[in-house]
Structure 1
């Protein structure tokens, strides 16, 4: 990932509220297309120039060819707030984040956690994140639905990791139950991405609990009952189970790792 500073200069008198609305509208459009990462952006004003530092998947994530219709509209509307087209200054590589995948993958998967800010679409060969804007828009011109699913998954993951209330059980059900609403939406998005990219795309089904390690080793695919989905060795050191029929990967229960 890369850190970049974006500057918005005024070409005429404007108000902070008008500029704030226009800038945040653009930032949200970029975020919902996977071009910028994170959820909160600090916009500073100094000497008539608004500046914001962003985390990008790649050096050229904000190139016009990657912009969604929403982002293009937001860029065009900057002039109504008396703002010039944004200028970008690349700060450098973020040493605390992952490197985006740059090669064509033989397969891919939807996988995230509450500590990850990167794209939830991962290469099945390396587990590196694949920038969402590099695949065709999933719905309505961008990847808003994928980002929303990721936000919900991460929220459930953070609740279950905290283990501080009864909400933990509801959160784990959403993550680990193949009949949950979260699974259904994510699995459908997975199918949409596979259809658009023509690359086999899997869904990560979280697994915790179980009566014993042996019972876990012998468990079948929860969706179709496939008994032969256990792999000789964990894929990417994480996923011991892979069902090609259901396009699901899963881990050996974390209770027995």
Structure 2
């Protein structure tokens, strides 16, 4: 199975020169070209079928940033403009089983394999983790998050899902579902008067259904990665509480971890902040 991937060394050199302090991978904008075979499918059938499946499979694997792509048709060629978390994010070696299957179906309906080219560094978006082997991870999100809900414990940058230890069978369904639920509850807390209390309870209480779901995901991901997974518990209204809500032990740090976390419990694998 083939795919053409054109890297941009110039884009990387400019990035390193302008952002010498960066600790993570810079988000990159790509141009992709797809060549549907009109003898096998109409343009709309190709777009709504094989191409849609392929793109959403990459999105679910963390290789494309959600909602940041545009498609244009020109002279029978479908052109994609999208954002990915690293310069090599769209290379087939990062595909899971579903991505490879989707690519195969796409190529069967195409005149030739798709082509991806790096255009350059994407402005205005967060960097992504570039650590080779993080010592621990954090499950963290909010209502405006567009990236992976997993952060690196060492650099505090989001970890693309395809970089998480696991296997090619995993589409991170539970993880993505939890993030959607967390964003909904956090949105209620921040933006809603009527639903503020419900939203806050879900993101702040150790016994809430949302927190229990997140802690279970952390346990499962920890087993797969062989690394600790911490859960972020947002405690806006009890910032001075010095004991862990899980075990009752002292958990206040001497200073702020990554400038965000004021509390950390290694036994319960919980992190929290203070306004």
Classify the TM-score, shorter chain: 0.7 to 0.9
Find the counterpart in structure 1 of residue 165 from structure 2.
Answer: 136
Question: Which of 154, 159, 165 does residue 125 from structure 1 map onto?
Answer: 154
Give me the CA root mean square deviation. 2.0
Find the counterpart in structure 2 of residue 4 from structure 1.
Answer: 30
Find the counterpart in structure 1 of residue 59 from structure 2.
Answer: 31
Aligned CA distance change for structure 1 residues 139 and 192 (closer, same or farther; 3 Å) = farther
Provide the aligned length of Structure 1 versus Structure 2: 246
Q: CA deviation at 1:42?
A: 3.0
- What is the CA–CA distance in structure 2 between the aligned matches of 1:174 and 1:83, rounded to whole Å? 50
For structure 2, list consecutive stretches of 5 or more residues without a partner in the other structure: 1-26
Mapped pair 1:207 → 2:230:
no
List structure 1 runs of 4+ shifted beyond 6 angstroms: none
Question: Which of 229, 251, 256 does residue 234 from structure 1 map onto?
Answer: 256
Find the counterpart in structure 2 of residue 71 from structure 1.
Answer: 99
User: Where do 1:101-120 residues align within 5 Å?
Assistant: 101-103=129-131, 104-120=133-149
Q: CA deviation at 1:65?
A: 1.3
Q: CA deviation at 1:74?
A: 0.7
Encode CA deviations 1:139-162: one digit per residue, 9 max, x unaligned: 942223222222222222223221
Encode CA deviations 1:121-180: one digit per residue, 9 max, x unaligned: 1111221112211123379422232222222222222232213x3122222222112222
Find the counterpart in structure 1 of residue 175 from structure 2.
Answer: 146
Find the counterpart in structure 2 of residue 50 from structure 1.
Answer: 78
SS in 1 for 2:113: coil
SS in 2 for 1:86: strand
Counterpart contact for 1:153–1:182, Cα < 8 Å: yes
- Give TM-score scaled by structure 1 length: 0.88
- What is the CA–CA distance in structure 1 between the aligned matches of 2:188 and 2:82, rounded to whole Å? 27
- What is the CA–CA distance in structure 2 between the aligned matches of 1:17 and 1:184, rounded to whole Å? 43
Question: Which of 243, 249, 255 does residue 265 from structure 2 map onto?
Answer: 243
SS in 1 for 2:159: coil
For structure 1, list consecutive stretches of 5 or more residues without a partner in the other structure: 211-215
Find the counterpart in structure 1 of residue 243 from structure 2.
Answer: 220
Find the counterpart in structure 2 of residue 213 from structure 1.
Answer: none
Encode CA deviations 1:183-226: one digit per residue, 9 max, x unaligned: 1222112122221222222010111223xxxxx42342112222
Q: CA deviation at 1:116?
A: 2.6
Structure 1 range deviating more: 196-205 or 80-89: 80-89
Structure 1 range deviating more: 65-74 or 2-11: 2-11
Counterpart contact for 2:34–2:110, Cα < 8 Å: no
